[in-house]
Amino acid sequence: MTSSPDLHPGRPLVFSAPLTIGVLADTHVFARGGRRLDPAVPALFARHGVGLILHAGDVNTASVLQTLGEVALTLAVRGNNDDADLRTSLPAVVEFSVGRFAFALLHGHVGKTARAAARRYAGRVDCVVYGHSHIPKSELVDGTLLFNPGSATDRRWQPHFGVGLIRVSAEWVVPETILFDDPRHLANVRASVGEPGGASVCR
């Protein structure tokens, strides 16, 4: 279990480790559209015991955040396609820390590419979560983990839908990209066990 974050206005947003974070972006669920966030996604996060959910923008309607908020505290940023209410109420960037690790959450539409927008934080924080491109990606740049989960609902030209999990301990930040063709497949995803490998941040 992790302690509750300090949500007092004007103070840094701080979470304690260990913490499992659910990550998604670019759900593009419009109020009058046919697209929806499949219940298998919040069920996946609940099954993995996430204590925090990050949405990297283009939520489009607040109902998605309400659904995610039933699982865990949800932080979100505005994207270029969000409705007027979300563009007004959501910040462009959220910075917070989990234990000793500093995070930044942004959409990625301000800049030449989403990856370029995320790279602006390389060397400044330990992990950047971003979206906009709908391209799942996990890489280390100047010691900073850049993590894009892809989209759980709108894969566009990508072969798979995607969501993410980030596990934070006292010593490391370990990302996991979960790709799927059908939301029903998420019921088969089990927790990964072991120390970090690949694009992970260790301290």
| Maximum Cα interatomic distance, the chain, rounded to a whole number of Å | 46
d(CA 62, CA 103): 23
Q: Flag whether pLDDT at 72 surpasses 90.
A: yes
CATH H-level, domain 22-189: superfamily: Metallo-dependent phosphatases (3.60.21.10)
Q: What's the gap between Cα 190 and its chain centre?
A: 19
Q: What angle do CA 145, 150, 154 make, to 5 degrees?
A: 165
| Beta carbons within 8 Å of 40's beta carbon, 6+ residues apart | 183, 184, 186, 187
- pLDDT range class, residue 143, cuts 50, 70, 90: very high
DSSP 8-state symbol, 3: P
Per residue in 107-128, pLDDT (tens digit) is: 999 988 999 999 999 999 999 9
Ordered by start, the domain boundaries in the chain are 22-189
Do the Cβ atoms of 93 and 120 come closer than 8 Å? no
Q: Please, which residues bridge with residue 11 across strands?
A: none
Question: pTM of whole model > 0.75?
Answer: yes
| Cα Rg, the chain, nearest whole Å | 15
Q: Flag whether pLDDT at 174 surpasses 90.
A: yes
